Amino acid sequence: MNATTLRVLSPVPTDIDIANSIEPHHISVIAKKLNLNPNHYDLYGKYKAKVLLPVIDELKGTKDGFYVVVGGITPTPLGEGKSTTTVGLCQALGAFLDKKVVTTLRQPSQGPTFGIKGGAAGGGYSQVIPMDEFNLHLTGDIHAITAANNLLAAAIDTRMFHESTQSDNALFSRLCAPNKQGNRKFNELMYKRLKKLGITKVKPEDLTLEEVKRFARLDIDPESITWRRVMDVNDRFLRKITVGQGLDEKGMMRETGFDISVASEIMAVLALTTSLADMRHRLGKMVIGNSRYGDPVTADDLGVGGALSVLMKDAINPTLMQTLEGTPVFVHAGPFANIAHGSSSIVADKMALKLVGPGGFVVTEAGFGSDIGIEKFMNIKCRYSGLRPQCAIIVATIRALKMHGGGPPVTAGKPLDPVYVTENVGLVEAGCANLARHIRITKAYGVNVVVAVNQFSTDTDAEIAAVRSAALAAGAYDAVLCTHHAHGGKGAIDLGIAVQKACESASGPFNFLYPLDASIEDKIDVIARSYGACGVEYSKQAEKQIKMYSKQGFSGLPICMAKTQYSFTDNPAVKGAPSGFVLPIRDVRASIGAGFIYPLVGTMSTMPGLPTRPCFYDIDLDTITGKVIGLS
């Protein structure tokens, strides 16, 4: 693939220093590797391009390449290098094993970039570049989502305001205002609402007074509204706000709040859509709350579905970038991995699989471990895409396994306890119970599982041997030591070989965890038992919501568990592989447009806060070179 040659240094420099040391190829060079010509993409500067959707149709007769998903064990708060492993593997496949490969990754939120976690471009010598462009505005997709989300929020409050201040006839007259010729007519969205109401008349003047009222009044119950405004910044003081305090709003005050932009349902819609028409349909059917009669109110009921689609029309195209070693990357969508499914887009994966073709590889990432990351990837994303992976990778570190074996807490921003940097095979072996459960959960889908041991400098041969032995005993296809952080693709060659063999030998049937026609409760129970739970306990609020969603006809949707990533249970302090616990469900909500029901296991924050010392302290601009410094 005409790879970029890396000159690796030891000790490994900072991520931003490594990224800035490599001059990226012009993105047209990367596009040419995938046989894309300038008609297939729109340039966004020298190093990014939006690849256009018609590419999928143009290649529809081409067979797909191999499909690989990367997950992990239950992580520490420091992360175990899942994104770094994804990128390192692709650098190995493309730059060293001469395979056609595309990495597909989520677009990161700016919230963590400036907050506590830092960026998400990988790390060390396995990164996506330009790193600053990847972690910041990219091609504006998150800004488009923010604008669309907040337009819908404005439409909700405005509609309630106008319904409270106007008669039925006045509302109807303004909704169906006469055209220049003086004629009143319904537009296409209005016909959709009429059909939903069971009204077959096509002329505004033919509606009865009762039909006028039903058509014009949504009667949104303010207490039922689930749609919140968003912004792509961590701001804890916007978690709960009051709107409508202005004098002109005539007392229409209500409590609401802000989420971070990537928690918007529109982000999940973008990630799960399969075409422009499908995206338009999903945006229109997003439910923002209920009427006072208990009927779901959608974006199309508010008349805004088409406008949302216009704001999102460019965002649906995946962004092409590159790794440090010149292999292609699609960056597209970035849904929350807790309340949403946490995977990059179906569109990017489908396009990439056609572009690499038979014998090529598409490597994508699932959010967090197999319990909520790979589980959602398989049962939600794969259902809607129709795609089936041949191999799943589980990333493990000695550090995390020691924590699961009984080691002291690992806390971001605090020094590691000495146990994590000295040999302790017994602690590693005890922690492998966590790895074994992740292998069992993943193998149940019918895919080959390869364990990637992401090596740290303090790991010993005996500890690594213990992990490999435990992984193979638990049913892994292979377990491979990786040094891609320190050595780039060269450090993941053995992983690439193992993944190739695992894909080529895949033969079993693919299995979903549950059928869609099972009840909401039964689907939740199956997922909980895969974690090791012996049952589920519902709050009265959760039972009420399940009953409502079932009555509204949404029980056939897949389940997206909103749960901590730090434990199989609802309690992040419980490590290892616990069993026999009861999983509490405190509430159940739905993203109808995206297409899933999400039970809340514990409390999930959808607007992060900033720490005492955020990452932004270290981020600055070199005013001589114009380069960003301090990104992590």
Please list the residues that pair with 448 across neighbouring strands. 391
The CA angle 479-470-85, to the nearest 5 degrees, is: 35
Backbone angles phi, psi at 32, to 5 degrees: -65, -35
What CATH number has the domain spanning 15-139+314-504?
A: 3.40.50.300
8 A C-beta contact, residue 120 and residue 83: yes
pLDDT recorded at residue 74: 97
Percentage of the residues of the chain whose pLDDT score is greater than 90 = 89
Please list the residues that pair with 255 across neighbouring strands. 242
- Say how far apart CA 11 and CA 30 lie, in whole Å: 30
| Residue 521, H or E segment | helix 520-531
- 622: how many CB neighbours lie within 10 A of its CB? 11
- Say how far apart CA 121 and CA 84 lie, in whole Å: 8
Please list the residues that pair with 562 across neighbouring strands. 600
Mean pLDDT of 121-145: 94
DSSP string, 52-107: PTHHHHHTTTSPP-EEEEEEESSPPTT---HHHHHHHHHHIIIIIS---EEEEEPP
User: Which SS3 state, helix, strand or coil, does residue 429 take?
Assistant: helix
Q: Give tens-digit pLDDT for 210-254.
A: 999 999 999 999 999 999 999 999 999 999 999 999 988 888 899
* Ranges for all domains in the chain classified under CATH 3.30.1510.10: 142-304
228-232, 278-282, 350-354, 604-608: the lowest-pLDDT one: 604-608
What CATH number has the domain spanning 142-304?
A: 3.30.1510.10
Provide CB contacts within 8 A for 322, sequence distance 6+.
Answer: 24, 25, 27, 30, 47, 128, 129, 328, 329
Cis status, amide bond into 11, omega within 30 of 0: yes
The CA angle 416-419-420, to the nearest 5 degrees, is: 55
The CA angle 500-501-502, to the nearest 5 degrees, is: 90
Mean pLDDT of 470-488: 98
Q: Give tens-digit pLDDT for 401-434.
A: 999 999 999 998 789 999 999 999 999 999 999 9
Smallest Cα–Cα separation from 383: which of 557, 614, 163, 207? 557
Smallest Cα–Cα separation from 331: which of 614, 500, 103, 547? 103
Smallest Cα–Cα separation from 151: which of 227, 222, 217, 223? 227
Q: Computed from CA positions of residues 499, 502, 507, 511, in that sequence, does the dihedral angle turn out positive or negative?
A: negative
pLDDT recorded at residue 332: 98
Instruction: Considering the domain delimited by 520-600, tell me its CATH architecture.
Output: Roll (3.10)
* Ranges for all domains in the chain classified under CATH 3.10.410.10: 520-600
8 A C-beta contact, residue 530 and residue 466: no
Please tell me which of 6-10, 549-553, 609-613 the model is most confident about, judged by mean pLDDT. Answer: 549-553
- Say how far apart CA 439 and CA 467 lie, in whole Å: 12
Q: Give tens-digit pLDDT for 452-475.
A: 999 999 999 999 999 999 999 999
Task: With cut-offs at 50, 70 and 90, classify the pLDDT of residue 346.
Answer: very high
Q: Give tens-digit pLDDT for 39-82.
A: 999 999 999 999 999 999 999 999 999 999 999 999 999 899 99
Task: With cut-offs at 50, 70 and 90, classify the pLDDT of residue 3.
Answer: low
pLDDT recorded at residue 377: 97
Q: For residue 118, is pLDDT > 80?
A: no
pLDDT recorded at residue 603: 80
Please tell me what DSSP assigns to residue 374: I
- Say how far apart CA 272 and CA 282 lie, in whole Å: 9
117-126, 411-420, 617-626: the lowest-pLDDT one: 117-126
8 A C-beta contact, residue 465 and residue 491: no
Q: For residue 515, is pLDDT > 60?
A: yes
Q: Give tens-digit pLDDT for 72-112.
A: 999 999 899 999 999 999 999 999 999 999 999 999 999 88
14-18, 114-118, 134-138: the lowest-pLDDT one: 114-118
pLDDT recorded at residue 508: 83
pLDDT recorded at residue 536: 98
8 A C-beta contact, residue 363 and residue 391: no
